[in-house]
């Protein structure tokens, strides 16, 4: 399902607006500047279902700095801060 999105520019999910829908292209923990190590952050994201090919939709965002965001990942909803969502590259 990723090839249909090849024409769209890749961007980190951390910059996505509410209503954005896309497909995860890759995880890149180095871009996130999270308190977690790259490996730990990537592991946690995978455990919550953020893997390549998963459909994501930004459902809600918080009041202060539009943060955190509630993201639909295939069949579940995960709340995550934008800082960590920068590691998720979508298109």
Partner 1 sequence: MELPLLHLALVGTPNSGKTSLFNALTGSRQKVANYPGVTVERKEGFFVTPLGRQVSVVDLPGTYSLRGRSPDEEITRDFVLGKASGEAVPDLVLCVADSTNLRLTIRLLLELKRTGRPMVLVLNMFDIAARRGITVDVDRLAKELGLPVVTSIAVRKGGTADLLKLTDEISAKLAAEAEANSWRALSVAELRATQREADRIIADCVSLPSRPDTWTARIDAVVLHPVGGLVVLALILFVMFQAVFAWAQPLMELLNSGFDMLGEFVHATLPAGLMQSFLQNGVISGVGSVIVFLPQIIIIFLFILLLEDFGYMARAAFLMDRIMGGAGLHGRAFIPLLSSFACAIPGIMATRVIDNKRDRLTTILIAPLMTCSARIPVYTLIISAFIPAKDVWGFINLQGLVMFGLYAAGIISALAVSFLIKFFMLRDYAPAPFMLELPDYKMPRLKSIVIGIYTRAKMFLVRAGTTIFSMMVLIWFLASFPQPPAGATEPAIDFSLAAIIGKALEPLLAPVGFNWQIAVALIPGMAAREVAVAALGTVYAIEGGKEAAEQIGQVLATKWSLATALSMLAWYIFAPQCASTLAVIRRETGSWTWMAVTFTYMLVLAYAASLLTYNVAVALGAG
Strand partners, 5: none
Residue 49 makes CB contacts below 8 A (sequence gap 6+) with 73, 74, 76, 78
Q: Which of 14, 43, 88, 89 binds partner 1 (CB under 8 A)?
A: 43
Q: Which of residues 49-68 bind partner 1 (CB under 8 A)?
A: 49, 51-53, 59-68
Q: Does 1 bind partner 1 (CB under 8 A)?
A: no
Q: Does 23 bind partner 1 (CB under 8 A)?
A: no
Could you tell me if 34 and 42 are in contact, meaning their C-beta atoms sit under 8 angstroms apart?
A: no
Count of residues engaged in binding partner 1, rule: CB under 8 A: 40
Q: Does 17 bind partner 1 (CB under 8 A)?
A: no
Binding site for partner 1 (CB under 8 A): 33-36, 39-49, 51-53, 59-68, 70, 72, 74-81, 83-84
């Amino acid at each position: 399902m990723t090839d249909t999105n090849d024409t769209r520019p890749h961007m980190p999910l951390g910059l996505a607006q509410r209503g954005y829908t896309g497909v995860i292209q890759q995880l890149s923990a180095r871009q996130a500047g999270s308190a977690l190590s790259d490996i730990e952050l990537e592991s946690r994201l995978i455990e919550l279902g953020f893997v390549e090919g998963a459909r994501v939709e930004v459902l809600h965002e918080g009041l202060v700095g539009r943060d955190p965001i509630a993201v639909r990942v295939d069949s579940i909803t995960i709340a995550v801060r934008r800082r960590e969502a920068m590691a998720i590259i979508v298109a």
